[in-house]
Amino acid sequence: MSVIDVREAITRAHREEWAWVVAALTRRFGDLDIAEEAAAEAFATAVERWPADGVPPNPGAWLTTTANRKAIDRVRRENKRGDKHKEARLLYDDEPPQPLGAIDDERLRLIFICCHPALALETRVALTLRMVGGLTVTEIARAFLVQEAAMGQRITRAKAKIKAARIPYRLPSAQDLPARVSGVLAVLYLVFNEGYLATGPGTDPVRHELTAEAIRLTRLIRTLMPADGEVAGLLALMLLTEARRDARVSGGGELIALNEQDRGAWDAALIAEGHRLVRERLATGVAPGRYQILAAINAVHTSARDMRDTDWSQVVALYDQLAHLDPSPIVALNRAIAIAELDGPEVALAAVDRLEDKLAGYHAYHATRADLLRRLGRGQKSRAAYDKAIDLAGNTAELAYLTRRRDQLR
């Protein structure tokens, strides 16, 4: 096996096995610090040994075994081994909670720890991206637009708080699930978005392992809570978004806008499942939540065979409904994009310009302005807006797309 093949195998193992290894070690040692450090050391050992020894037949088992040995070595190095064993009881709970169904998934347990309500939402997301998603602190810091050292401290404090609060390593009881699940859904949605359109400068535009893991965990939660509308809505939203993944980036690595995508390349099975979930929720007659409305918007887009067939009046109506639940500037920006198709770019530009104070540091705001100005024939102002969007763009695919659009103005 060539060096390149070994590197690819290590990269694939990291994507597929990181969360399993961390979860297994957390369950055994009851310490997130030990679990993370031992997992990282195991992968570092793989980088050293696999080129010479070859990739093991079962990389996950090899990594878990190696990580366990690293963790045991660390515990033995501690002079207070007895105290460490006591600390291990803080996260490990051999008293099973109320039965929740035929689900026993280590990564799901881990994500409920990372998403505990004792932590701030941004901290939950960061901890989940690190412990479950396997992103580096550098990548997470870029996603949050903060300094790496600050993000490292945030994650360290989160792990310390979990230990101090003596949060058990298990799923919540059935009666506690409704109160806990909204926070978990928010984190899973952000993890999915980080995989669907990675935000770090110079990063790959798509991290399928993150989107796939977010979908898998959301499916598990739906099994736990089949009647919860927002769980179903989030799953539908993820499926309808993921269905377009292969059409979003060109062979040359450039982002492809929705109106330019080959809709024949969309995943028909994922779209059918997402539409079914949306219809099921509509049939209940219960007022939809945020994720259900977002899923419905995506259902309208994926129902159209061509961009010109899109029911923009329905899209705007759904954004109006969403704005009552989530009156954020991002929702207003997306509504303005739909308004441009319904009422024209002049009306949309006026709505977008009103968001400048709140979205001046957001690349999509400037990209939207650039496109609207372009459609209005205001080339010089459009170019300036593209320049700002390029300065703030999150990854190589967006950079390539925005640069091409700007250069076409010449």
Mean pLDDT across the chain: 88
Rounded Cα–Cα distance for residues 174 and 176 (Å): 5
Contact, 389 vs 366, CB < 8 A? yes
Rounded Cα–Cα distance for residues 396 and 203 (Å): 7
pLDDT value at residue 166: 82
Contact, 22 vs 36, CB < 8 A? yes
Rounded Cα–Cα distance for residues 222 and 216 (Å): 10
Residue 357 placed within a domain: yes
Residue found under tokens 């059935």:
174
Long-range contacts of 341-347 (CB under 8 A, 24+ apart): 341/310, 341/312, 342/312, 342/313, 342/316, 345/372, 345/375, 345/376, 346/376
Local confidence band at 116 (pLDDT 50, 70, 90 cut-offs): confident
CB burial of 53-74 (b: ≥16 within 10 Å; e: otherwise) equals: eebbeebeebbbebbbebbeeb
Local confidence band at 67 (pLDDT 50, 70, 90 cut-offs): very high
Could you list the residue range(s) of the whole structural domain that residue 343 is in?
Answer: 329-410
End-to-end C-alpha distance for the chain, whole angstroms: 49
Rounded Cα–Cα distance for residues 173 and 170 (Å): 9
Residue 54 placed within a domain: no
Judge whether residue 211 has pLDDT over 50: yes
Residue 51 placed within a domain: no
Judge whether residue 97 has pLDDT over 60: no
pLDDT value at residue 79: 54
Residue 373 placed within a domain: yes
Judge whether residue 336 has pLDDT over 60: yes
Residue 145 placed within a domain: no
Amino acid at 30: G
Local confidence band at 299 (pLDDT 50, 70, 90 cut-offs): very high
Q: Which residue has the higher pLDDT, 78 or 136?
A: 136
Q: Which residue has the higher pLDDT, 302 or 137?
A: 302
> What total number of domains does the chain contain?
1
Q: Which residue has the higher pLDDT, 77 or 262?
A: 262
Note the pLDDT tens digit of each residue in 155-202.
999 999 988 888 877 777 777 777 788 888 988 998 888 788 654 444
Contact, 225 vs 231, CB < 8 A? yes
pLDDT value at residue 121: 82
Note the pLDDT tens digit of each residue in 239-282.
999 999 989 989 888 999 999 999 999 999 999 999 999 999 99
Residue 180 placed within a domain: no
% pLDDT > 70, the chain = 90
- State how far Cα 39 lies from the chain centre: 21
Residue 380 placed within a domain: yes
Whichever domain contains 388, its CATH number is: 1.25.40.10
CA nearest neighbour of 110 among 236, 224, 192, 25? 25
- Mean pLDDT, residues 303-324: 96
Indicate yes or no: pTM above 0.85. no
Tokens of 137: 């602190």
Rounded Cα–Cα distance for residues 132 and 23 (Å): 8
Paired with 203 in beta bridges are 395
pLDDT value at residue 208: 78
pLDDT value at residue 204: 55
Rounded Cα–Cα distance for residues 145 and 363 (Å): 13
Rounded Cα–Cα distance for residues 78 and 28 (Å): 17
Any idea which of 246-255, 287-296, 365-374 has the lowest mean pLDDT?
246-255
Contact, 96 vs 169, CB < 8 A? no
Local confidence band at 108 (pLDDT 50, 70, 90 cut-offs): confident
pLDDT value at residue 216: 86
Local confidence band at 368 (pLDDT 50, 70, 90 cut-offs): very high
Residue 407 placed within a domain: yes
C-alpha R_g of the chain: 23
pLDDT value at residue 100: 47
Residue found under tokens 């998403």:
115
Contact, 365 vs 359, CB < 8 A? yes
Note the pLDDT tens digit of each residue in 383-405.
999 999 999 987 888 999 999 99
Tokens of 58: 């079962």
* Number of residues that make up the chain: 410
Note the pLDDT tens digit of each residue in 1-59.
688 888 899 988 998 899 889 999 998 888 899 999 999 999 999 999 999 899 999 99
pLDDT value at residue 325: 95
